[in-house]
């Protein structure tokens, strides 16, 4: 539901409106529950009348046999306001710290009944606003003044419950209490509905506001993550909060500037690498004129290395500038095909895993990445074993060889362009130092991860390619 002018409001007034709306909803619920389930009433009694009624009830109980006492009390007119019960043991009414009302009622009962203080027990419960039983107000004199502070204090004349215990001559006890009005279960229901309703409104408005705040942040985070991974623009639109709309606009401008900045430099480097081919060709021709065979061989070797570096760099930058579209590919078949090609060239490359594993990817780029990884394994490890694990969340590919591996503290350096680690690479093996760089760029471009692992069985390059989320 769209509210008028809501989309133009900033975050602060939106929060204020939702807080007010929550308060209004909670108060409306309390008002509705008050009319549907009215709170229990008040039994207002005069202290002198209470003492006389207690005396009359004790006299009625003493005048009949023990078995007829309850019926006699029930038949008296006192049951309109009071309830009665009989027990053989003294009730558990603590008398060590009496309240003002307990002291006054007990004093009135002692004076009216003429019994010892030990034969009279009085117990009260503090007044509660969310009461489920009839509240009792014992008035000593009328009129009387009672403020809010006194109402909730120990000196209050209004209590949630009042219980009186009187010892009879045979040792049993007569228990007297106020007569309840209404149904207590409905009052419990009212309190529960009030609490549940309050929590519901607070939670509903909070979740609504939290989602309106978190969702744009999640979109910004996803766009930033994709920009850092693929370097492709991910324009953000549809922001409703003005603050987020301003952030999205700034972020989109930043994406455009970054992409332009990277593309210009990649194109410049590609142009330089391309233009280097002509002078390299001339140098090769000049080298042929060198009479010293050893010098000529060395010069031609250096020129060949430079040409390889130029060609590899061009391929790397061309792939970065002109991204190939995604398509669903059988990655297992792709790995099997690459393994067969290396085996046909005389290398020891074996594949282990399922025959089919579908994944949406850039097949040419992915083939180049795994070709580089397998080629490195063949050069530095001699024998390569490919293994594929297909899970519901991702494809995990291990490229294992029995070479010396790469120390963990130099793993990040191994991915840097044109880097050769002395422990595993040298000029005799050839290469430009871009193999792992290209492989990681491709894997990260698919949202995946690549790790270098040294274990007891050799060196492993582990690639994890996530499946697209539904």
pLDDT at 266 over 80: no
Segment holding 3, helix H or strand E: none
**Rounded CA separation 143/149 (Å):** 18
What's the whole-number mean pLDDT along residues 170-180?
87
pLDDT at 198 over 90: no
Q: Which of 172, 175, 176 is nearest to 62 (CA)?
A: 172
**pLDDT one-digit tens code per residue, 356-376:** 889 888 888 888 888 888 888
CA 339 to chain centre: 44
CA 436 to chain centre: 37
Who has greater pLDDT, 287 or 385?
Answer: 385
Q: Which of 64, 53, 264 is nearest to 164 (CA)?
A: 53
The torsion angles phi and psi of 25, rounded to 5 degrees, stand at -65, -40
User: pLDDT value at position 469?
Assistant: 65
Here the tokens at position 387 are 């293994």
Q: How confident is the model at residue 426 (pLDDT cuts 50, 70, 90)?
A: very low
User: pLDDT value at position 319?
Assistant: 55
Output DSSP code: residue 88: S
Q: Which residues face 359 on adjacent strands? A: 329
Q: Which of 398, 361, 359 is nearest to 377 (CA)?
A: 398
pTM of the entire structure?
A: 0.47
Q: What is the largest CA-CA distance in the chain?
A: 145
**pLDDT one-digit tens code per residue, 93-140:** 888 888 888 888 888 898 888 889 889 999 988 776 555 577 777 877
- In angstroms, what CA-CA distances link 389 with 235, 252, 296? 35, 38, 50
Is the Cβ–Cβ distance between 188 and 53 less than 8 Å?
no
User: pLDDT value at position 132?
Assistant: 59
Q: If 0-12 CB within 10 Å is exposed, 13-18 middle and 19+ buried, where does residue 24 land?
A: exposed
Q: If 0-12 CB within 10 Å is exposed, 13-18 middle and 19+ buried, where does residue 461 land?
A: buried
**pLDDT one-digit tens code per residue, 215-242:** 778 878 777 777 766 666 777 777 777 7
User: pLDDT value at position 381?
Assistant: 76
**pLDDT one-digit tens code per residue, 45-68:** 888 888 999 999 999 998 889 888
What's the mean per-residue pLDDT of the chain? 79
pLDDT at 382 over 70: yes
Who has greater pLDDT, 316 or 200?
Answer: 200
Q: Which of 19-33, 67-81, 260-274 has the lowest mean pLDDT?
A: 260-274
- Residues 6+ positions from 7 with CB-CB distance below 8 Å: 240
Here the tokens at position 397 are 């590919």
Would you tell me how many other CB atoms lie within 10 Å of the CB of residue 421? 17
SS3 letters across 325-359: CCEEEEHHHHHHHHHHHHHHCCCEEEEECCCCCEE
Q: Which of 144, 127, 123, 147 is nearest to 136 (CA)?
A: 127
Strongest mean pLDDT among 256-260, 343-347, 444-448: 343-347
pLDDT at 329 over 80: yes
Q: Which of 410, 340, 352, 349 is nearest to 376 (CA)?
A: 349
Is the Cβ–Cβ distance between 231 and 265 less than 8 Å?
no
Segment holding 99, helix H or strand E: none
């Amino acid at each position: 539901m769209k509210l008028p002018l809501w989309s133009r409001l900033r975050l602060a007034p939106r929060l204020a409106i939702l807080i007010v709306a929550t308060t209004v909803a909670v108060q409306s619920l309390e008002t509705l529950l008050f009319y549907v389930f009215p709170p229990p009433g008040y039994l207002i009694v005069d202290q002198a009348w209470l003492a006389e009624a207690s005396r009359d009830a004790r006299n009625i109980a003493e005048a009949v046999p023990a078995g007829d006492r309850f019926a006699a009390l029930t038949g008296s007119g006192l049951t309109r306001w009071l309830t009665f019960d009989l027990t053989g043991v003294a009730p558990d009414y603590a008398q060590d710290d009496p309240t003002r009302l307990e002291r006054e009622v007990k004093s009135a009962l002692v004076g009216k009944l003429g019994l010892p203080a030990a034969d009279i027990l009085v117990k009260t419960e503090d007044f509660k606003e969310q009461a489920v039983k009839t509240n009792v107000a014992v008035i000593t004199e009328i009129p009387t003044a009672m403020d809010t502070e006194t109402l909730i204090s120990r000196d209050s004349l209004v209590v949630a419950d009042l219980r009186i215990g009187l010892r009879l001559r045979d040792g049993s006890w007569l228990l007297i209490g106020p007569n309840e009005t209404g149904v207590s279960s409905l009052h419990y229901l009212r309190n529960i509905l009030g609490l549940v309703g309050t929590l519901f409104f607070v939670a509903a408005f909070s979740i609504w506001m939290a989602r309106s705040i978190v969702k744009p942040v999640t979109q910004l985070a996803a766009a930033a993550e994709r920009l850092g991974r693929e370097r492709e623009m991910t324009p953000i639109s549809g922001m409703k909060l003005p603050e987020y709309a301003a952030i999205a606009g700034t972020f989109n401008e930043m994406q455009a500037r970054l992409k332009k900045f990277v593309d210009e430099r990649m194109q410049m480097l590609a142009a330089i690498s391309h233009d280097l081919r002509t002078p390299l060709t001339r140098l090769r021709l000049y080298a042929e004129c060198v009479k010293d065979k050893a010098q000529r061989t060395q010069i031609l070797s250096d020129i060949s290395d430079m040409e390889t570096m130029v060609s590899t760099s061009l391929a790397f930058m061309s792939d970065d500038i002109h991204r190939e579209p995604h398509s669903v590919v059988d990655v297992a078949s792709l790995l099997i095909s690459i393994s067969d090609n290396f085996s046909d060239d005389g290398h020891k490359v074996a594949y282990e895993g399922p025959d089919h594993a579908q994944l949406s990817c850039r097949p040419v780029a992915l083939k180049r990445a795994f070709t580089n990884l397998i080629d490195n394994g063949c050069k530095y490890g001699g024998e390569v074993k490919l293994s594929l694990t297909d899970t519901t969340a991702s494809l995990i590919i291990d490229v294992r060889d029995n070479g010396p591996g790469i120390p963990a503290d130099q793993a990040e350096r191994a991915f840097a362009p044109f880097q050769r680690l002395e422990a595993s690479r040298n000029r005799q093996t050839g290469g430009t130092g871009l193999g792992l760089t290209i492989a990681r760029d491709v894997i990260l471009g698919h949202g995946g991860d690549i790790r270098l692992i040294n274990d007891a069985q050799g060196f492993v390059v582990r690639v994890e390619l996530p499946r697209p989320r539904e």
